[in-house]
Amino acid sequence: MDDIVVIALFRHGLTEENKRRAYLGWNDSPLCPESMRIRTKNRYDHYFSSDLHRCITTVKHLFPNKGVTIFKELREMNFGEWEGKTYDDLKEDKLYQNWLSDPFLSCPPEGETFQTFAKRVETGWKFISHHIISNNYKSGGIVTHGGVMRYLLSHFAPEQRDFWSWQTPHNKGYELTFDREALRRGERCISLLEVPLMAKENG
């Protein structure tokens, strides 16, 4: 099985801003207490994380005492002036309505375009792929954000689906199994498996 590589994608734990359904990109927010009860038995050869605190806290919680490579390319989209605001805060804003109608062409004020976000995530993925292959790892775990996961799943899952079709809840991850040479070439994985995250009993 030396020709097989598993890369797992996990979203950071639920935050206080997530609970009130606010846009949370490059801003940060503390994890909710219930997020600290989530566990997984799955383990990987190396771990990668967004540099935002909510992801670093999550990766250290899920995979304690493990080596982690942290870098900013795995950040969520930058929502600019809309950071920390909710739909109700923005619903009368014409720019926001344009963005909801076509988020691939419109851009949050002082935020990222989708194209800039996509290029950044692709750079991060290439780094991860190269790191895994060059170290001959058989697996890697990534803790990142919902938008990043959607982008990676839309490009690398075996079933071709668009960006918004993917669900990225806080209590479930995905394992993508690649042929090693296909991973090197940037091709889709050969299988996809959901990884549920379970709440620890008694706190």
Is 201 a residue whose pLDDT tops 70?
no
Q: What is the 3-state secondary structure (H, E, C) of 37-81?
A: HEECCCCCCCEEEECCHHHHHHHHHHCCCCCEEEEHHHCCCCCHH
Percent of the chain with pLDDT over 70: 98
Is 65 a residue whose pLDDT tops 90?
no
CA distances for 131 relative to 11, 127, 153, angstroms: 21, 6, 20
pLDDT tens, position by position, 161-188: 999 999 999 989 999 999 999 999 999 9
End-to-end CA distance of the chain: 38
For residues 38 and 48, the model is more confident at 48
Determine which helix (DSSP H) or strand (DSSP E) holds 114, and give its type and residue range. helix 114-134
Give the single-character DSSP code of 178: E
How far apart CA 200 and CA 39 sit, in angstroms, is 6
Percent of the chain with pLDDT over 90: 92
Is 202 a residue whose pLDDT tops 70?
no
How far apart CA 45 and CA 34 sit, in angstroms, is 27
Is 199 a residue whose pLDDT tops 80?
no
Average pLDDT over residues 46-60: 97
Domain segments of the chain: what residues?
4-78+113-199
CATH 3.50.50.60 fits 4-78+113-199, yes or no: no
From 60, 65, 68, 18, select the one nearest 38 (Cα to Cα). 60
How far apart CA 21 and CA 95 sit, in angstroms, is 19
pLDDT tens, position by position, 113-139: 999 999 999 999 999 999 999 999 999
Average pLDDT over residues 27-56: 94
Compute CA 17 distance to the chain's CA centroid, rounded to the nearest angstrom.
17
